[in-house]
Structure 1
Amino acid sequence: MRIIHLEEALYRHFNYDSFRQGQKEIISDVLHGKDVLGVLPTGSGKSICYQLPAKLVDGVTIVVSPLISLMIDQVKELKAAGFKDVIALNSFLPFIEQQRVLNNLDSYRLIYVSPEWLQKRKHQNYLKQLPVKLFVVDEAHCISQWGHEFRPDYQRLHEVIEALNHPPVLALSATATPDVQADIIQSLNKPAMKRHIYPMDRNNIAFCVKEVDNDQEKLERIAELTKSYFVPALIYFTSRQTAEETALSLSAKLPKRNVAYYHGGMEASERLRIQQQFMNNQIDIICCTSAFGMGINKPDIRLVIHYHLPLQIESYIQEVGRAGRDGESSVGVILYHKGDFRLSANMVKNELPSIEVIDQLIATILTCQSTQVDLPSPEQLHILLDINEGAARFIQRQLQKYGLIRDSEWFIDEKKWKYVREGIVQYLEERQLYKNDKLNELYRWVQTGKCLRQTLYQPFQDEFGEPTEQCCSNCGFDWNKWVPEPLFKMPEASSPLNWRIKLQKTLNMEEA
């Protein structure tokens, strides 16, 4: 299809009159078979960059997506828009249903999968039988942000691309510094990737950073804001327990608001339920960890509050970028005290295994080998070493790189251990330094006296747009001048409608 026909195709398949910034250029290169890295701001419609090609190419598009909830939402939206030949392959599919889908994969044009799903040999064998014409990595910053430790299968995507006979690759992200861009390109083993990089600053979001004395003052400030502004809000935490406790406290303080918590320790079905209720305005405040929000297409989030500091600038831009996707005025708030710096530093330290843990692993494996005791599977490393799963996955990935783990089997070579240990320790030290640098970059930003908007986006771009309304707390932000549209129309200023009353009025029936 020639470029001049793309607007017609966009309208026919998605009912959009025109492309947003960057979409047409990326799609054009994809349709010409080029490998592309696209960096577009949050809320700019990155998904169209592969959904339209999936409609136009004669073959299958594979989309690697980081979250099950994100896959489910996108599939639901596509099917509602008339794109029926789309499927998400994940653990929510019952076994019988998954087998039925796998046996009929050639009937789908767009297939969503996780990086972990892709690494199973039997799944790859199904995909090899398909005419895969485009391989997409959505939220591609996860390759760099998560792939080195938390989800190492992101670092193995190049193996899947090779197994699928090198289809064109499209990597998409909203936050990628030049270093992260280089990491993505190197990891995917696509050195000739064409880059389409666009400014990511959001001129409708104001930034407010406030130092407080303690956590109690944070809670009081959050209660004050959520009582004053009846708008959809996200409150981010690094602690699951604190997220739960704050949600309960806010529910007691704000009886007219619907508050929930969300974190990775909850059952997947419960997380999905909370997300859907938030999307439908049945819940309007969510106290969450970073597990919530990636790809959430809710346009009217107005407040994004950080109770705890994120661990890097990129994470903050991703999280605050969930506000104001409809272009309306929104605010990002960070509340911090000096003790938060120590908490963040400990979190970064615990994300990676210590050198002592590496030595413990080596000693355990060699002891088992010499005494002919069966080793546990590599997937059980966190139990064997009594460490968190993220640290265990880091070790597992390193052992895979050196060939000591292949297809979930051990291939022990005592002669290689010294060499392997040196390599892992060196890489471990490099990653620790990198993560500390990213954390210090965030510390400097929250404490700067300069414009928060410009200093936030400076690592990513050279020019900045003028804010549509107010800029930031360092440039004189005034809460009294921020007047967002309430979530629901209120019968009285002091009595906002909750979701149950809204539902009653909609259905014209009394609540049971």
Structure 2
Amino acid sequence: MTDNLNKALEKYFGHQSFREGQREIIEDVLQGKDVLGILPTGSGKSVCYQLPARLMSGAVLVISPLISLMMDQEKQLAASGYKDVIAFNSFLSVQKKQDAFRNLAAYKLIYASPEMLQRKGFVKKLSELRISLFVVDEAHCISQWGHEFRPDYLKLHHIIETLQHPPVLALSATATPEVQKDISFQLRKPAMARHIYPMDRENITFQVDELETPSEKIKRISNVLKAHPVPTMIYFSSRNWTEKAAAELSAALPDMNVAFYHGGMEQSDRILIQQQFMNDQLDVICCTSAFGMGIDKQNIRLVIHFHLPPQIESFIQEVGRAGRDGLSSVSLVLLSPNDDLLPRKLIQSELPDREEIARVIRYMKSRVQQGVFRLPEQDMLLESLQISETKWRFLRYHFENHGMMDNDRIVSSFDWETIQEKISRVAAERTKYKLAKVNELLWWAVQTECRRKALFAPFQDTTKEPSYHCCDRCGFKFSEWAPVTKATRKSESYNWKQALKQIMLQGDSDEEIKSG
């Protein structure tokens, strides 16, 4: 099998050797085992199911949480000549979506969001196929303790059962032992073969700078980029700050091209910015967490965190977008007083509080009393309830879990007060857990030990020997950094109108899977 896999890897992907963990996972997948794979960001997790899709009979179904991730992988495969792939997302025109449904059996690799799998017609169509492998990408989303908890992921075991229990491959870059156990439990796959590899990358160096104000942060970024004009991603927790910082850095760095990216932009603008960055026409992206997942740009040298993300797992994933070519790259965190307030505020706004839960319960109870059991369309419902879509997803999952709802229909009357108290306790427990994750990252930023060892301690027992520099606690200074810089920027005459026409198919709108 070894020689055959090496030949297949070179034939389909042009690589002469596997990266750490890829071969072991693929061999188990091809033997029909259920597999949990934890590999560092940038290690090529997608090959673990894309290569089996070429070799197995039947179709490989990939559950992915982000539209841009699906699109990017579909585009890369199509560019390499692999046409038997389809990604169901909002960029499919109505006509192409209908054609894809009719000809679903023609595809070897099918991407879909967990929300798409709540459509009974789509699942029925999938059940008519032979699904040889069921892939859960970004599998930490399935765990209630994962940093991107998504309630619809918790329903995947029902889909697996409907599809006659195909082998399952769950992949993630950041999952603590606690989350790994929960992934296996939630998928109802207790005997998964586990391939858990160290998450740290030897070529990434860590530094934290403590500053007093946001203005000082902008000045620090300007000085770093003047000395080291390298491809850079700067993460913010605020959409407004991405735009403000991009404007200020553009003025301070006239020789560099700077742009912003966030979930509030038009989809066509986001795709344009993404493609320009991938093609080296942009040097610096000021972005929210909406940017980066699935972006396989090899030469990002610097990832800066202007704001702290809400947990270590997100931080590790975002840092892991640097240095995918193995060359020296740096993670720079800019810390100032009260930087914890924004992530705490965001966490407390994610889940419904007691008053909101009580208000929704009263609304449902009143409909039952009126003999109206079906809920209105989601937009009307959210407006009536005055809650966000994220909060409604959380509540809907728990209503269904308690047998109160079936699709959009309230099943019957209940002990409303008991249900209300149970859901309130779960929301409070979840919020408390997430706030503790903020404290965990804050502790990491201010502790005095080796940053690499402290960062990865919750995930693994040891860390790798750095290829270049370790961290500022171990003596790193930016003045000593000698990164590889690009010689020339690609031609500015690239026809982006034509590029957009090729990569975009405006159509009906599925829900946006993630924003920021």
Pick the TM interval, shorter chain.
over 0.9
Per the TM alignment, residue 49 of structure 1 is displaced from its structure 2 partner at its CA by: 0.7
Q: 1:18 to 1:200 in 2, by over 3 A?
A: same
Partner of 1:398: 398
Aligned: 1:154 with 2:153: yes
CA distance in 2 between counterparts of 1:345 and 1:462 reads 29
Residue in 1 aligned with 2:235? 236
Contact 1:89 1:113 in 2 (8 A): yes
User: Offset at 1:389?
Assistant: 2.2
Query: Structure 1 counterpart of 2:390, which letter?
Result: G
Percent identity (aligned): 53
AA matched with 1:405: M
Structure 2: state its 5+ residue gaps.
Answer: 496-516
Q: 1:330: Cα distance to partner?
A: 0.4
CA distance in structure 1 between the aligned counterparts of 2:422 and 2:346, rounded to whole angstroms = 24
Q: Secondary structure at the match of 1:264?
A: coil
2:340 is paired with a residue of what secondary structure?
A: helix
What whole-Å deviation, never above 9, does each CA across 1:40-67 have from its counterpart, x for those lacking one? 1111111111111111111100011122
CA distance in 1, matches of 2:148, 2:63: 18
Q: Does 1:111 align with 2:110?
A: yes
Offset of 1:400 from its aligned partner? Answer: 1.7
Higher mean displacement: 317-326 or 372-381: 372-381
* Alpha carbons 2:37, 2:171 under 8 Å: kept: yes
Deviation at 1:36, TM superposition (A): 0.3
Mapped contact 1:378–1:396 kept (Cα < 8 A):
no
What is the CA–CA distance in structure 1 between the aligned matches of 2:294 and 2:239, rounded to whole Å? 21
Q: Which runs of 4+ in 1 moved over 4 A?
A: 145-150, 371-375, 378-381
Amino acid in structure 1 at the alignment position of 2:135: V
In structure 2, the residue matched to 1:352 is 351
For residues 313 and 45 of structure 2, what CA distance do their matches in structure 1 show? 17
Per the TM alignment, residue 196 of structure 1 is displaced from its structure 2 partner at its CA by: 0.4
Query: What is the identity, as a one-letter code, of the residue corresponding to 1:277?
Result: Q
1:24 and 2:23 correspond: yes
The residue correspondences of 1:270-289 to structure 2 (distance < 5 A) are 270-289=269-288
Partners of 1:87 and 1:146 in 2: CA distance: 31
* TM-score between both structures, scaled by the size of structure 1: 0.92
Superposition pairs of residues 356-395 of structure 1, within 5 angstroms: 356-371=355-370, 375-377=375-377, 380-395=380-395
> Secondary structure in 2 aligned to 1:333?
strand
Question: CA separation in 2, counterparts of 1:283 and 1:146?
Answer: 36
Q: Does 1:328 align with 2:327?
A: yes
In the other structure, the counterpart of 2:81 is 82
- Give the CA RMSD over aligned residues: 2.0
* Equivalent position SS for 2:415: helix
Q: Contact conserved, 1:151 with 1:390, CA < 8 A, in 2?
A: no
Aligned AA for 1:500?
E
Contact 2:140–2:146, Cα closer than 8 Å, also in 1:
no
Within a 5 Å distance, the mapping from 1:31-430 to structure 2 comes to: 31-144=30-143, 151-371=150-370, 375-377=375-377, 380-413=380-413, 415-430=414-429
In 2, the alpha carbon distance for the partners of 1:498 and 1:148 equals 37
Greater relative CO (CA pairs within 8 A, separation 6+)? 2
Is the 1:149–1:391 Cα contact (8 Å) retained in structure 2?
Answer: no
> In the alignment, is the contact (CA less than 8 A) between 1:158 and 1:189 conserved in 2?
yes
Give the aligned partner of residue 492 of structure 2.
Answer: 500
Q: How far off its partner does 1:487 sit?
A: 2.5
Q: Is the Cα–Cα contact under 8 Å of residues 149 and 352 in structure 1 kept in the other structure? A: no
- How far apart are the structure 2 equivalents of 1:403 and 1:149? 25
Matched-pair contact (CA < 8 Å) for 2:232–2:301: yes
Return closer, same or farther for 1:217/1:458 CA change in 2, 3 Å cut-off: same
Distance 1:330 1:218, change over 3 A: same
User: What do the CA deviations read for 1:88-122 (whole angstroms, capped 9, x no partner)?
Assistant: 11110101111011100111111111111111111
Distance apart, 1:4 and its partner CA: 4.8
In 2, Cα distance between equivalents of 1:428 and 1:99? 39
Name the residue aligned to 1:506.
none
Deviations 1:285-304 (A, max 9, x none): 11111111012100000010
Give the drift of 1:167: 0.4
- Residues 196 and 395 of structure 1, relative CA distance in 2, 3 Å threshold: same
- Tell me the TM-score normalized by structure 2: 0.92
Given the superposition, is the C-alpha separation of residues 456 and 341 from structure 1 closer, same or farther in structure 2, using an over 3 Å criterion? same
Q: Give the Cα separation in 1 of the matches to 2:62 and 2:79.
A: 19
- Residue by residue over 1:68-98, the C-alpha shift from the partner in whole angstroms, topping out at 9 and shown as x without a partner, is 1111111121122232211111110101111
- Deviations 1:439-483 (CA, angstroms, capped at 9, x unpaired): 111111011011101000111111111111111111111111111
In 2 relative to 1, CA 198–111 (structure 1 residues): closer, same or farther, beyond 3 Å? same
